[in-house]
Amino acid sequence: MRNAFVQTLVDLAAEDKNIFLMTADLGYNAVTGFMEAYPDRFINTGICEQNMSSMAAGMALEGKTVFTYSIANFPTLRCIEQIRNDIAYHHANAKIVSVGAGFSYGALGMSHHATEDIAIMRAIPEISVLSPCDKFEAAALTEYAARLNGPCYIRLDKGGSPELHDKPPLLEEGKPLMLRSGDNIAIFATGAITAEAVGAADKLKETNHLSCAVYSFPFIKPLDKDFIYSAAQKYSYIFTLEEHSILGGLGGAVAEIIAECRSNTVLKRFGLIDRFADTVGSQNYLRRYYEIDQVGIIQQIIKLI
């Protein structure tokens, strides 16, 4: 995803001389393309993400479109006050990009896990929250962010995510993208872990004869309420899946909307349940450990229905 983000940004910067990229002393292999193409528009602030955010706000208020880039929770949780007061409050045209969503940096421990970022960024007014499931959505969302007049947050997986689209999809603001059709069950997923939902749906159809729809949610905020309302009428069971706490993320957003409409659908949220991921291991290992991999999803769906 990060390579798709950087390459798309390089292409966009060729047409828009106001696009800048800032990083906090990391990612040289990933961002080298932009750094070499536009050295005057690449800024390495050093390890000071809070200053980077305030600098981005100031530059944005002078007419620049500034993307900040760093690992996991560092460009978000470490500098939440600067994002809230400098970027969001002033509706600055700054784009906050994190690489390492969820357990991408699993072996480095909870300090490098991004499992609360969606909830915290979603709660700040004025900021759009974007979460691609593969490199094609990452490219499309980068274009969307560059055109957007105002701040947003883009949450990228570290890399190696399966391709769930065959080309960049046509995005409609707030709307999900259907990856599998289904009759009575739907999984709403966001981020790279959407691949686990697709695998689970395919396996459920093959072995249990259950027809399970899968939707990717590149937009977590804004979120199309009308789609959620109609889905709550169509599907008897809705499952949300995210590599994130179930508190305040995609599952929380869907639950809030469903609570405001008359529906008999059953909602179940898959994610981290109000705890730190205090176990260390690879991304795939941690998904298995917290039962949000394909096997865990299947077991929980069968148990519920």
Within 8 A by CB and 6+ apart from 114, the residues are 72, 73, 76, 98, 100, 101, 102, 104, 155, 244
pLDDT digit string, tens, across residues 120-151: 999 999 999 999 999 999 999 999 999 999 99
Paired sense of beta strands 128-130 and 219-221, if any: antiparallel
Q: Residue 160 above 90 pLDDT?
A: no
Distance separating alpha carbons of residues 90 and 261, to the nearest angstrom: 34
pLDDT bin (cut points 50, 70, 90) of residue 168 is confident
pLDDT bin (cut points 50, 70, 90) of residue 237 is very high
pLDDT digit string, tens, across residues 27-58: 678 899 999 999 999 999 999 999 999 999 99
Supply angle C-alpha 290, 166, 245, rounded to 5: 20
What domains does the chain contain, in order, with CATH numbers?
Answer: 2-156 (3.40.50.970), 177-304 (3.40.50.920)
pLDDT bin (cut points 50, 70, 90) of residue 277 is confident
Q: Residue 274 above 90 pLDDT?
A: no
Burial label, 304 (beta-carbon count in 10 A; 0-12, 13-18, 19+): exposed
The H or E element that residue 186 is part of is strand 185-189
Please compute, for residue 1, the number of CA atoms within 13 A of its CA located in the half-sphere on the CB side.
30
Note the pLDDT of residue 161: 85
Note the pLDDT of residue 276: 84
pLDDT digit string, tens, across residues 60-119: 999 999 999 999 889 999 999 999 999 999 999 999 999 999 999 888 888 899 999 999
Q: Quote the pTM value.
A: 0.95
Q: Residue 19 above 90 pLDDT?
A: yes
Q: Residue 171 above 70 pLDDT?
A: yes
- Segment 157-167 mean pLDDT: 89
Beta bridge partners of 185: 212, 237
Over the range 114-130, which residues count as b (16 or more CB within 10 Å of their CB) and which as e?
A: bbbbbbbbbebeebbbb
The H or E element that residue 255 is part of is helix 250-258
Position with higher pLDDT, 41 vs 277: 41
